[in-house]
Structure 1
Amino acid sequence: MRHTLRLLPLPLGIALCLPAFADDKPLNWGLCPATDVLPAFTDAPPADKAAVATRDQQPTDIEGDQLYGTSTVPQYEGNVALKRGDQFLGTDHLSFDTDTGNYRAEGNVRYQDSSIRMVAQRAEGNQESDTHKISDIQYQLVSRRGNGGAESIDLQGAVGQMHRSTYTTCDPSQPVWKLSAPQIEVDNDEGFGTARNAVLRIGKVPVLWAPYFKFPIDDRRQTGLLYPELKVSGRNGFDYTQPIYLNLAPNFDDTLMPRYMSKRGLMLDNEFRYLYRGGRGELLTAYMPSDKLRDRDRGRVEYSGFHNINSQWQARANIAWVSDERYVEDFSNRLLGVTASNLQSQAGIYGTGENWSGGLMADYWQLTDYTLTEQSLPYNRQPRLFGTWDKPVLPWLDVGVYAEAVRFTHDDVNYKTRTPEGEYIRNGQVKTSGIGVDGGSRLDIKPYVSLPFTGASWYVTPTLAWRYTAYDLEQGLADEIRQTNLAAAGITNPTPEQLRGNTSPSRSVPIASLDAGLFFDRETTIGDKPYLHTLEPRLFYLRTPYRDQDELPVFDTRDFTFSWGQLFRDSRYSGPDRQNDANQLTLAVSTRFIDQNSGRERFSASIGQILYFDDSRVSISPYSIPVEKGKSAWIADSNWQINDRWNLGATYQWDPKYKREDLASLRARYLMSNDGIVNLTYRHRLNPNGSELLEQADLSFLYPISPSWSLVGRYYYSIQDAKPLEVIGGVQWDSCCLAVRAIARRYVRNREGDLNNSFQIEFVLKGLSSIGQNTDRTLRRAILGYNRDDLYLVPPSNTGASRDDYDPNQIP
């Protein structure tokens, strides 16, 4: 029969209480028993999440073995079942007073919906006043893992109280951890709960006690404490951080992070975030009133954000500042962090369209390495206007242009202080010739025409470009360039006229290139497996006439590191301050073996070399070694996926002129079962002058000993310096509902090679949160493939943003 009786709002009182601590990180429940804590009720309707939204509009069906009493107070006896949408309530006996709204359910009370399954001994209350009391409860979450119990729960409308309640994601037979509280108050309208005297136990040992705290029970954010971070290091000592979350508004929040370091003192970190329809941003700040190790105030400011002006234009900014040149060394916990010698701040507007891109921006650099001087900083670009445009006019004709206008400045005050007469002061002494690095302006324009002729197995692309670069320099910088050139030429007593530099130098040069390639393929069989074997020869000819560029400054231009990509560029420099003369031909060939059953590339290899028909006279400075006529180093690269577990790779550069190995890199990766991995890398590189740059070996691994235990480690060693750069050793233990990671780390913390020690431990309470330091972040950086979702990614560099948003030296 049908009745208007509403089902009890049990999910509001139980499913959203203690389980609300759960985080969103995907977890591995593979070690858990495959059984339900509370088996599904056979007489309940199948779970239907789609019915949740309409359950309030649906009537309730009531069934039972017997119906007696009166029409005013009907009573149901034996296998009583109430069903509405996805909800089910079963009991042995149910009575309901239609006049007063009172009801009582006794004996084997069972409730189930799409989010929770529950059993209780008794439920009673009043439907009209929306008050309910349920006694002796056991529950299991359905939509996520979690179970527990409560002595009783009292509900009055949207407000409820749970008495002597527990929550865990462990199986009752293995209660590794449990969270319990004598009393929890829940307000579903406000979206938060209040727990009193809550205790977290691991095994039988209490590890965390909170006399009073509030927590969210839905997606609405609430002000309160977050879980602390604990760690110990040789530089900071005992390190404790207690995050405090502040929910300021629906679209912005703030997290205060008081941090105590026993060897340094108290630091206050802060993270402010905002979000709106057209953009978002984040402001990070830190302040330490008095660092006991440095005897000074310390701090930092970082901001990143963007605003979408419209569908094509966006304004964005990334701003960073630190209080001193050793801040990054002292408070960066990453090996890459201590190698960054500067911070870049930039802001601008950027646009993109179907055939164009452009922007207007400015940037500023700050020194973060105490071993260097501000003279080593890059020039600030204040401002920089750039744009690109390219369009296929015909199927065989592309036209385009790169353009950039920049004003360069520098903040090295020792180099730009002047007397009233306009003379320069350096290190307190007046200099008659300029040495100021005030900077100047640069205009760079590069239009091009390209003819991409292609066929099914070939392509030929001739390209003709014209590059015009003009400058407006400060007189001091022009004089410095002239003085450097005179010294390089051996002129020791120049006349005053010779010392005065050109403040408006320019360069105009044509650039012609021809890129051509063929594709051959054949079907072959290796063993019993069919493969598609390809052979891909490629020629690239570049012709650029010589232009004298000695009077041009070097603002943001460097030599490219010689690599495979450099074989096919029209300049060997990263910026427009230099355009090398060239009469050269690149010969290259690649081959691949593609598994025709899976489509995977099982083996690939490439080799190439540049033939220089003439000496290249342009260099980055008068003292640089020019490129001589002859042959470049051979560049070879290969990758072999032996099977689904083994992968080998190698890169090699051999210079036939000097008969030396310029670069050797070997890579090996082995994937184990149970998510284990081993990475082994060797790198050796020489400087362009032949001196040793680096020789390093890197071993990292995640080795599962058993389904529960695994070892993690990294040994990153500099063979050249005969010392480790980073050593990590740790152990991981995993169970159904608890994981523990403990790692010890020894790493280089500054350019002087000083080492630091740290110890990190983290308890991951699955379905609740983690306590300790974020060891997962450290291991993901140190062990490529640690989570198996980054096997083909290169760890990101944090040495700063790219100097350019486009590359005018890349062949279109």
Structure 2
Amino acid sequence: MRLALRLLTLPCCIALALPAMAADEGKPPNWGLCTVQDAIPSFDLRTDPQSNGIELSPAESREQRAELPTEITGDSQTGTETNMAYQGDVELRRGDQYLRADNLIVDQETGKYQAAGHVRYQDSGMRVIAETAHGDQDNDTHSIENLQYQLVSRRGNGGADRIEMHGADGALIGSTYSTCDPGQRHWELRARRIDVDTDEGWGVARGASIRLGKVPVLYMPWLKFPIDDQRHTGLLYPAISNSGRNGFDYRQPIYLNLAPNYDATLLPRWMSDRGVQLGGQFRYLYEKGKGQLDLNWMPSDDLVERRIEDIANGAPTVGNDPLRTDNRGMAKFVGNHNLDRHWQARANIAWISDSRYLEDQGNSLYGQAATRLTSTVGLYGRGNGWTAGIMADSQQLADYTLSDSSLPYNRLPRAYLNWEQSYRRWLQVGIDAEAVRFQHNDKGDGSRLDIKPYVSLPLQGAAWYITPTLAWRYTRYQLEEDLQASLGNPDRTPSRSLPIASLDAGLYFDRNTTIKGRSYLQTLEPRLYYLNVPYRDQDTLPRFDSRAFTFSWGQLFRDNRYSGPDRQGDANQLTLAVSSRFLRSEDGFERLALNLGQIHYFKDSQVVFPGEVPVEKGRSAWVADASYAPTDRWNIGLSYQWNPKYRAEDLASLRARYLLPDDGVVNLSYRYRRNAASRTNLLEQADFSFLYPVNRSWSVVGRYYYSLLDHKLLEGIAGVQWDSCCLAVRAVVRRYVRNRDGEMNNALQVEFVLKGLGSAGQDTERTLRRAILGYYRDDLYLVPPSIAAPSGDDDSSSGELLP
């Protein structure tokens, strides 16, 4: 029946138009504080997907219902064959569509219809209550008056004075939209008129406003937006903020839909205290790969002008501050291309105009740890038992307190191969090979070939294993004259060749035990690792990419105490270690884990870097790692190193986390590190953070991150959060180290989160997720590493481009 077909378009007009104005949120909204009762309850359980277990999207429902017949029932039927009238509780069903009214009149000759009296419509996407619905099917004009609606999947609901449709064009008159319950309208989007073109996929809102309670907070006299999944050229939601460094900050993204598989976004930005910034992003996607290009440019930066004035007035300069005022910017490209199922080409290229750019663009202390940018391009392969690649990378300084001489060597290019093959169950052979060309403007150039074939016998049983391994490492260099002279090496092609022998053995014991009435599996895992490497003089070999590993639990079982092939440490040592775990029998939960180990050195080490303290005959520091969960909510971790030579600790770390009800969390940590040789303290910090729910709606957050060694606050946060069904508000006060000069900054951040629509204010959630480990318990990560290729601003993000 054509009536059912046409009535489908009317609610879709509502379902798409108002929510389309909402911004996509990275984290799904939490509707836990909402009432169970829907704004508009289901009319018919047989067609309600939430009640009968049907899980179809609206698009899937439309495709299926197109092939289904329409059923009409009513208390009575009158009229002729061409002019039918149904009275008394009229019902119309087709697939997931359901229409109900007191009266329904259809004139087959003129194509006119009228539904009156408690008109109700329902499908898999929405529910509608209206006073009347009438129209002309032949002229394709339709009207619904005095209606209320609810979106099933997005929880949005609202109403309209009238909806008018003429073919693909429609208009919503006096419409509203909110995800709040009708009785508690914390926020609401209102529009005087919304015109919709379903063929083109556009909607135009006139006189639109957002209200918090009864107070209008944003007015948009005219706004054009998409109403379907198609991408359209137009304005995206602006980002507005204010800070002491940037002043009033306004960024207006402009989206350009260039083709189905590539697009672009222009990012003009104005900062009242700094000037204009122009940015852009280009994305592409095709069958075998994808890529993204990001660009930012500032013609002139008033922030640097103010810095120059401060220096002229006597303020000190720090490091190699470039003081660049004009043409500041960055560029970044990330992309990949799949050649076949084994090989992929990848590129990650970044550039900045000056070494202070990242700090000036970032909004927190987290981006300050980046000391350099690494750009890499290469061809990478992976198969059964092998990995290989050829690539090139270069370094750019991103820390103005350092100089270019501190940068690592560029590798132009690097080729590598890792291959391993098992023969039966007791023999493994493999090879690790690498060839690199190193380049550095301040240190000189050279090449290195490193080959390490090995063979091992992995023998094992149910409760034991023993793996002897024999490897041979051959490393050869080709040095340019400037590097050769700086090393004082008369040989331009020095080499090193030596065997590496190791034996890794262990036992596994377990038993069932009971602690406080609960059954546990206790394990005892002693392990022995012997390493023997003869001494080779390596003092005249270059040091391209090798450094000493930080002593830790993992270092007990490595065959080299240095990273990279430039140094192979001599060794005659034995590691004795033991581990024990208590696993809850019912679910495998680890209640307790203990690790203890120590290396016994049978001789002094002879391979050392200049200034490095050699390893002396005797015993290493004891390494202890432990984790304990007193309850399912508590987790306590401890790392400790005790040096028997100096009778003092080299490292101490304590971590404790308690999970409060309702997503609450409390973190406490202490970190201490000491240089054993010089007996100086390197680091001593304490960190306390929490999210404490006062009740279901209110919670407080905070962090106190303090350097005990420097007697200085690194970051302090205090904030309050209020949450409801459809609205959340966060207010955060911060004091933190803003730059490498140690300058402190104060900030007040306020954010209003209109669930299902978007947010206004500064991104407080990003700040809290970084500062409080386990904030909302969905990403337990630490501060990002110090080597990064930034995407521009500290708060920038990008989405995936879909074909």
* TM-score after normalising by structure 1: 0.91
Tell me, yes or no, if structure 1 residue 239 matches structure 2 residue 249: yes
Identify the residue that residue 14 of structure 1 maps to in structure 2: 14
1:675 to 663, 679, 687: 663
Identify the residue that residue 448 of structure 1 maps to in structure 2: 454
Contact 2:245 2:303 in 1 (8 A): no
Matches within 5 A, 1:298-313: 298-313=328-343
Q: What amino acid does structure 2 have at the position aligned with 1:301? A: A
**Distance in structure 2 (CA, Å) of the matches to 1:380 and 1:749:** 30
- Partner SS, residue 336 of structure 1: helix
Identify the residue that residue 315 of structure 2 maps to in structure 1: none
Shift of 1:194: 1.2
- Partner SS, residue 485 of structure 2: helix
Q: Any unmatched runs of 5+ in structure 1?
A: 413-436, 483-499, 802-812
Q: Note closer, same or farther for the CA distance 1:772–1:248 as it changes in structure 2 (3 Å cut).
A: farther
Q: Note closer, same or farther for the CA distance 1:241–1:687 as it changes in structure 2 (3 Å cut).
A: farther
Identify the residue that residue 36 of structure 1 maps to in structure 2: 38
Aligned alpha-carbon RMSD (Å): 1.6
- Partner SS, residue 673 of structure 1: coil
Q: What amino acid does structure 2 have at the position aligned with 1:751? A: R
Identify the residue that residue 487 of structure 1 maps to in structure 2: none
Contact 1:559 1:574 in 2 (8 A): yes
Contact 1:233 1:756 in 2 (8 A): no
- Partner SS, residue 766 of structure 2: helix
Contact 2:73 2:91 in 1 (8 A): yes
Shift of 1:3: 8.8
2:273 to 234, 243, 263: 263
2:464 to 455, 458, 464: 458
Identify the residue that residue 430 of structure 1 maps to in structure 2: none
**Distance in structure 2 (CA, Å) of the matches to 1:717 and 1:177:** 40
Q: Note closer, same or farther for the CA distance 1:795–1:338 as it changes in structure 2 (3 Å cut).
A: closer
Shift of 1:93: 1.3
Identify the residue that residue 792 of structure 2 maps to in structure 1: none
Contact 1:87 1:112 in 2 (8 A): yes
Q: What amino acid does structure 2 have at the position aligned with 1:635? A: V
Tell me, yes or no, if structure 1 residue 645 matches structure 2 residue 638: no
Q: Note closer, same or farther for the CA distance 1:294–1:51 as it changes in structure 2 (3 Å cut).
A: closer
Tell me, yes or no, if structure 1 residue 358 matches structure 2 residue 388: yes
Tell me, yes or no, if structure 1 residue 152 matches structure 2 residue 162: yes
Q: Any unmatched runs of 5+ in structure 2?
A: 306-324, 790-803
Deviations 1:612-650 (A, max 9, x none): 0011100123x3221111111110000001111111110
Identify the residue that residue 402 of structure 2 maps to in structure 1: 372
Identify the residue that residue 206 of structure 1 maps to in structure 2: 216
Deviations 1:749-802 (A, max 9, x none): 2333122233322211111111222222221111111121224x444425238x
Contact 2:375 2:394 in 1 (8 A): yes
Deviations 1:493-543 (A, max 9, x none): xxxxxxx63211100010000000000111111110111111100000000
Identify the residue that residue 490 of structure 1 maps to in structure 2: none
**Distance in structure 2 (CA, Å) of the matches to 1:399 and 1:688:** 39
Identify the residue that residue 48 of structure 2 maps to in structure 1: 46
2:291 to 258, 281, 285: 281
Q: Say which is worse superposed, 460-469 or 87-96, in terms of deviation.
A: 87-96
**Distance in structure 2 (CA, Å) of the matches to 1:127 and 1:688:** 88
- Partner SS, residue 490 of structure 2: coil
2:437 to 407, 420, 424: 407
**Distance in structure 2 (CA, Å) of the matches to 1:680 and 1:143:** 40
Deviations 1:389-431 (A, max 9, x none): 001022100000000000000134xxxxxxxxxxxxxxxxxxx
**Distance in structure 2 (CA, Å) of the matches to 1:103 and 1:72:** 12
Matches within 5 A, 1:744-783: 744-783=733-772
Q: Note closer, same or farther for the CA distance 1:41–1:283 as it changes in structure 2 (3 Å cut).
A: same
Shift of 1:43: 7.6
Identify the residue that residue 604 of structure 1 maps to in structure 2: 593
Q: Note closer, same or farther for the CA distance 1:348–1:334 as it changes in structure 2 (3 Å cut).
A: farther
Q: Note closer, same or farther for the CA distance 1:796–1:464 as it changes in structure 2 (3 Å cut).
A: same
Matches within 5 A, 1:287-326: 287-295=297-305, 296-297=325-326, 298-326=328-356
Q: Say which is worse superposed, 345-354 or 58-67, in terms of deviation.
A: 58-67
Contact 1:480 1:501 in 2 (8 A): no
Contact 1:602 1:640 in 2 (8 A): yes
Identify the residue that residue 684 of structure 2 maps to in structure 1: 695
**Distance in structure 2 (CA, Å) of the matches to 1:270 and 1:728:** 33
Q: What amino acid does structure 1 have at the position aligned with 2:20? A: A
**Distance in structure 2 (CA, Å) of the matches to 1:222 and 1:254:** 11
Identify the residue that residue 68 of structure 1 maps to in structure 2: 78
**Distance in structure 2 (CA, Å) of the matches to 1:255 and 1:125:** 42
Contact 2:380 2:389 in 1 (8 A): yes
1:616 to 598, 605, 608: 605
Q: Percent identity?
A: 60
Shift of 1:222: 2.2
Identify the residue that residue 391 of structure 1 maps to in structure 2: 421
Identify the residue that residue 162 of structure 1 maps to in structure 2: 172
Tell me, yes or no, if structure 1 residue 343 matches structure 2 residue 343: no
Identify the residue that residue 431 of structure 1 maps to in structure 2: none
2:645 to 619, 640, 657: 657
Q: Say which is worse superposed, 631-640 or 738-747, in terms of deviation.
A: 738-747
1:439 to 426, 435, 445: 445
Shift of 1:229: 2.5
Shift of 1:107: 1.4
Identify the residue that residue 581 of structure 1 maps to in structure 2: 570
**Distance in structure 2 (CA, Å) of the matches to 1:643 and 1:443:** 53
**Distance in structure 1 (CA, Å) of the matches to 2:103 and 2:424:** 83
Identify the residue that residue 253 of structure 1 maps to in structure 2: 263
Tell me, yes or no, if structure 1 residue 329 matches structure 2 residue 359: yes
**Distance in structure 2 (CA, Å) of the matches to 1:788 and 1:21:** 30
**Distance in structure 2 (CA, Å) of the matches to 1:269 and 1:722:** 40
Shift of 1:185: 1.2
**Distance in structure 1 (CA, Å) of the matches to 2:143 and 2:480:** 83
Q: Note closer, same or farther for the CA distance 1:41–1:376 as it changes in structure 2 (3 Å cut).
A: same
Deviations 1:361-380 (A, max 9, x none): 11111111111110000000
Q: What amino acid does structure 2 have at the position aligned with 1:632? A: S
Q: Say which is worse superposed, 647-656 or 54-63, in terms of deviation.
A: 54-63
- Partner SS, residue 767 of structure 2: helix
**Distance in structure 1 (CA, Å) of the matches to 2:331 and 2:692:** 40
Identify the residue that residue 190 of structure 2 maps to in structure 1: 180
Shift of 1:76: 0.8
**Distance in structure 1 (CA, Å) of the matches to 2:769 and 2:750:** 15
- Partner SS, residue 486 of structure 2: helix
Matches within 5 A, 1:438-517: 438-482=444-488, 501-517=490-506
Q: What amino acid does structure 1 have at the position aligned with 2:286? A: Y
Contact 1:664 1:685 in 2 (8 A): yes
- Partner SS, residue 15 of structure 1: helix
Shift of 1:308: 1.1
Shift of 1:339: 2.0
Matches within 5 A, 1:793-808: 793-800=781-788
Contact 2:699 2:721 in 1 (8 A): yes
Q: Note closer, same or farther for the CA distance 1:334–1:458 as it changes in structure 2 (3 Å cut).
A: farther
**Distance in structure 2 (CA, Å) of the matches to 1:55 and 1:236:** 55
Q: Note closer, same or farther for the CA distance 1:335–1:43 as it changes in structure 2 (3 Å cut).
A: closer
**Distance in structure 2 (CA, Å) of the matches to 1:411 and 1:507:** 26
Q: Say which is worse superposed, 751-760 or 526-535, in terms of deviation.
A: 751-760
Tell me, yes or no, if structure 1 residue 789 matches structure 2 residue 767: no
Identify the residue that residue 321 of structure 2 maps to in structure 1: none
**Distance in structure 2 (CA, Å) of the matches to 1:659 and 1:54:** 77
**Distance in structure 1 (CA, Å) of the matches to 2:297 and 2:613:** 47
Q: What amino acid does structure 1 have at the position aligned with 2:519? A: P
Deviations 1:544-574 (A, max 9, x none): 0000101100000010010100000000001
Shift of 1:4: 7.8
Deviations 1:199-228 (A, max 9, x none): 111111111111212212222222333333
Shift of 1:327: 0.9
Identify the residue that residue 433 of structure 1 maps to in structure 2: none
Tell me, yes or no, if structure 1 residue 540 matches structure 2 residue 536: no
Q: Note closer, same or farther for the CA distance 1:250–1:775 as it changes in structure 2 (3 Å cut).
A: farther
Q: What amino acid does structure 1 have at the position aligned with 2:397? A: L
Q: Note closer, same or farther for the CA distance 1:634–1:44 as it changes in structure 2 (3 Å cut).
A: closer
